[in-house]
């Protein structure tokens, strides 16, 4: 332990010394008598116990002085509890995510060649993810991307500015050479990330999957969803401009039905606005408690001195109300 303002202690010590000297100088004088030598005898002296209120006040003043010197612990570990979720966003980076988000814009551009291209599915999804991150103030968020394989871009973190920075860095070049859709591998990596990082969480853990296609590589997503359910992890599905042909396939229908059966929600966003709306809908998820241990530098501990000082003052006042101690300090 150390004190941030140790010089204040010397000022307080000086003030207490002056008060003690004044008290000694202004102490009541008594008329001398021929029996004074008897009164100075130890058998006639007042018991030290009768000066207990003064001693308690003195100790209280010392405790207040220590508290005012701003005592701190240089390094300590604190447990931070907040009301929120552990959420891992799983983002599809397959080659089809480079297509334009709104197909109708393509037809308009064929008729009017001067029109600028609209945002790609990846760009629209990144904007939706960033909007989602900005609304989840109390949540710990992470990001996993996948194509042929799955990768962790950001572990679970409360630093949302850091996460948004990494979302901005995700582009079509990050998984250059890959182009397929390993949904099962992306979900499995998210499960692993939650299991490793979210220890001590008493609440729900969530995965939000953003994809525009069907699984065509790696693990079967249905098997991975069974593992998510066993671990009490809820999975939500946000389709990025999923066309009717893909949605009608048996494996995609089975994936969506399993997510709903396990308590998750499914969305199909056909525009950038739909993506943001689907992301906001996840905000209705039930909240849980997060417990996170953080290192604290110069943690204040003035309460170690202030609370005993208050108790000391109360004791001193209580003693002064007892006739035995009155006028003996």
pLDDT at res. 23: 66
Q: How far apart are CA 199 and CA 124, in angstroms?
A: 33
Determine the Cα angle at 122 with ends 116 and 126, to 5°.
Answer: 105
**Mean pLDDT, residues 106-115:** 62
Structure-model confidence comparison of residues 191 and 328, the more confident one: 191
Q: Is the pLDDT of residue 76 over 80?
A: no
Q: How far apart are CA 108 and CA 120, in angstroms?
A: 16
Domain boundaries in the chain? 2-70+302-325, 79-293
pLDDT at res. 328: 47
What is the rounded (10 degree) CA torsion for 169, 173, 178, 182?
A: 20
End-to-end CA, the chain: 34
- Does residue 132 contact residue 282 with C-beta atoms inside 8 Å? yes
- Does residue 147 contact residue 216 with C-beta atoms inside 8 Å? no
Q: Is the pLDDT of residue 188 over 90?
A: yes
- Does residue 180 contact residue 216 with C-beta atoms inside 8 Å? yes
What percent of the chain is predicted at pLDDT more than 70? 70
What is the rounded (10 degree) CA torsion for 28, 29, 35, 37?
A: 90
What digits encode the pLDDT tens for the residues 198-242? Answer: 655 545 789 999 998 888 888 999 999 999 999 989 999 998 888
CATH code 3.40.50.410 for 79-293:
yes
**Mean pLDDT, residues 85-93:** 91
Q: Which of the residue ranges 116-125, 173-182, 226-235, 302-311 would you say has the lowest mean pLDDT?
A: 302-311
Q: Which of the residue ranges 134-138, 223-227, 254-258 would you say has the lowest mean pLDDT?
A: 134-138
Residue corresponding to tokens 């871009």? 153
**Mean pLDDT, residues 192-201:** 75
Give DSSP secondary structure letters for 256-309: HHHHHHTT--EEEE-SHHHHHHHHHHGGGSPPEEEEEEEEEEEEE-THHHHHHH
Q: Is the pLDDT of residue 286 over 60?
A: no
**Mean pLDDT, residues 305-313:** 79
pLDDT tier for residue 144 given thresholds of 50, 70 and 90: very high
Q: Which of the residue ranges 128-132, 227-231, 322-326 would you say has the lowest mean pLDDT?
A: 322-326
Rank 105-109, 161-165, 303-307 by mean pLDDT and report only the highest: 161-165
Comparing CA positions, the residue from 254, 252, 270, 271 lying closest to residue 262 is 254
pLDDT at res. 202: 45
Rank 48-62, 89-103, 194-208, 299-313 by mean pLDDT and report only the highest: 89-103
pLDDT at res. 303: 76
Q: Mean pLDDT in the chain?
A: 78
Output the six-digit token pair for 124.
């629209």
Q: Is the pLDDT of residue 7 over 70?
A: yes
pLDDT at res. 69: 74
Helix (H, G, I), strand (E, B) or coil at 149: coil
What percent of the chain is predicted at pLDDT more than 90? 24
**Mean pLDDT, residues 170-178:** 82
**Mean pLDDT, residues 37-60:** 63
pLDDT at res. 329: 43
pLDDT at res. 295: 55
pLDDT at res. 14: 73
Give DSSP secondary structure letters for 141-200: EEEEEESSSEEEEEEEES-HHHHHHHHHH--TTTTTT-----HHHHHHHHHHHHHHH-TT
């Amino acid at each position: 332990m150390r004190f941030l303002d140790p010089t204040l202690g010397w000022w307080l010590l000086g003030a207490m010394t002056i008060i003690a000297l004044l008290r000694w100088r202004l102490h009541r004088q008594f008329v001398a008598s021929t029996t004074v030598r008897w009164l100075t005898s130890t058998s006639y002296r007042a018991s030290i116990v009768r000066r207990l209120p003064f001693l308690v006040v003195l100790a209280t003043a010392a405790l207040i002085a220590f508290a005012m010197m701003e005592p701190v612990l240089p390094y300590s570990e604190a447990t931070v509890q907040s009301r929120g979720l552990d959420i891992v966003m799983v983002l599809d980076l397959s080659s089809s995510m480079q297509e334009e988000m709104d197909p109708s814009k393509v037809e308009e551009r064929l008729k009017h060649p001067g029109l600028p291209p609209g945002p790609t599915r990846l760009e629209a999804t990144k904007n939706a993810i960033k909007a989602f991150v900005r609304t989840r103030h109390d949540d710990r968020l992470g990001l996993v991307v996948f194509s042929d394989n799955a990768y962790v871009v950001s572990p679970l973190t409360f630093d949302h500015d850091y996460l948004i920075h990494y979302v901005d860095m995700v582009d079509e070049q990050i998984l250059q050479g890959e182009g397929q859709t390993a949904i099962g591998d992306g979900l499995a990596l998210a499960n692993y990330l939650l299991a490793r990082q979210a220890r001590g969480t008493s609440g729900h853990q969530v995965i939000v999957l953003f994809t525009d296609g069907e699984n065509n590589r790696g693990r079967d997503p249905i098997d991975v969803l069974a593992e998510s359910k066993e671990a009490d992890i809820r999975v939500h599905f946000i389709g990025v401009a999923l066309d009717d042909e893909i949605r009608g396939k048996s494996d995609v229908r089975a994936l969506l039905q399993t997510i709903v059966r396990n308590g998750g929600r499914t969305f199909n966003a056909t525009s950038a606005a739909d993506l943001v709306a689907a992301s906001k809908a996840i905000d209705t998820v039930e909240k849980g408690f997060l417990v996170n241990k953080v290192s604290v530098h110069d943690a204040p501990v003035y309460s170690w001195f202030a609370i005993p000082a208050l108790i000391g003052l109360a004791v001193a006042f209580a003693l002064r109300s007892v006739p035995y101690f009155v006028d003996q300090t």
